[in-house]
Chains A and B, each alone.
Chain A
Amino acid sequence: MGMTCETVWRESSNYLDETLGPELRLAMDEHIQGCKKCASVIEGLRNIVTLYGDERMAELPAGFSQRLQRRLEANKLPTRRHFFGWAVAFAASVVAVGSFELLRHTASEKPEAVAPPHTRRPVPPDMQVVVAEGGAQFHRAACPLLSGRSNLRTVAAAEAIHEGLSPCPRCMTEYL
């Protein structure tokens, strides 16, 4: 029984992936030899698979690995090696707070007005933010204010702050 073009199209992907049984494959080979349209479909699919499978199609953005390594570095948990450093820092902060409290209590002047609680959160320095060329702010990648902007680049928040940029009032309200 002759194979139909519809069957060839339905099985064309499996044919390319070489997952067909020998009989079906042979029947398809015979059909393709005599059918220009099906030969065109198979060759077209083969071309698509070859083109998209090329490693040039899976390139990372420039600097991706470096940015990732910086973020990983910033997110490392303290290990035994770092514990001593943290302990020293903690002890120093206890001494500093203790000294401050001592001074405050020994002062005889009227107490200073208590500052309102500071609710602003600092921007995590390793947070990846997006900066538009010529812009004065940095954004989250999904910020609607970036829509239609060209020449965008992704940097760490610390880098953006170092460049004098400020958090976007639309997408980074918690840091304002």
Chain B
Amino acid sequence: MSSQARHIQGMTTLLQENSAETAREAELILRVKSGDHDVFYQLIQPYERRVFATAMAILRNEADAEDVAQDSILKAFRHISQFRGEAKFSTWLLQITINEARMRKRRMTIRAMESISEQPDDEREYRPREFADWREIPSESLERKEVRNALIEALNTLEEKYRSVFVMRDIQHLSIEETAKVLDITQASVKTRLLRARLMLRDLLSPGLNGQWTAKLAFAKGVKPWE
């Protein structure tokens, strides 16, 4: 099958999907491809947060993440002719973002605190910490900036491979399959990393369970309970 035929087939598949949103998205893609650049922002607007959160998951710095997020969107704009509709547009956009963020991280040697090369998944069983009692952290507490910051701080202490899976799944609400595609890993790896990320975050945020949110958190002193 020629690339043109694959392209038409891919775009047709997109158009045939039931979702009105998907159809609208496919229409916008075709319009941008045919030169109507004014509608490109409408196309990417639903994904702005995801793109930024993805860059943030890798770079952990707001200014760098914004820079990379915007560069990635511009790159998608310039290369939209290469999008063939074989994957979801959002998956393609996030894959560009992941690549851009990793390249930026590679260049940031001065600030890089962790190795670029990934270590293999830790196969050992993770043992969650024991707590005498469980006290839920209420969602209303997210109104408080210091609570949101504490959650971000905890997330940033995780290794990138755990952090990126957690961000895709639990912040951006991508499916296991989509997460695997975006990060180019197996679905089994997504599940393994997600489990560990969730358990580590639970343990990290345990001081909040005893009503100590205003106290300095243990991980802020460099203590990682899982080590």
Contacts and interface: CB of A to CB of B under 8 A. Distances in A.
A97 interface: no
B78 interface: yes
Given A54-B139, A147-B110, A37 B130 contact: yes
A48 B125 contact: no
B128 interface: yes
Contacts of B67: 128, 140-141, 154
B155 interface: yes
A14 B194 CA distance: 10
Contact of A68 (B50, B62, B73, B195): B73
Interface residues of B, number: 62
Contacts of B139: 50-51, 54
Contacts, number: 145
A77 B166 CA distance: 37
Chain A interface helix/strand/loop/mixed: helix
Interface stretch (B19-27, B86-94, B169-177, B217-225): B169-177
B37 interface: yes
Nearest to A130: B63
B74 interface: yes
A44 interface: yes
A10 interface: yes
Contact of A154 (B50, B66, B199): B66
A75 B66 contact: no
Contact of A147 (B69, B111, B130): B111
Interface of A: 6, 9-10, 12-14, 16-17, 19, 37, 39-41, 43-45, 47-54, 56-61, 64-65, 67-69, 71-72, 75-77, 79-80, 128, 130, 140-142, 144, 146-147, 152, 154
Interface of B: 35-38, 40-41, 45, 48-50, 52-53, 61-64, 66-67, 69-70, 73-74, 77-78, 104, 107-108, 110-111, 125-128, 130-131, 133-134, 136-137, 139, 142-143, 148, 151-152, 155, 166, 170-173, 176, 191, 194-195, 198-199, 201-202, 205-206, 209
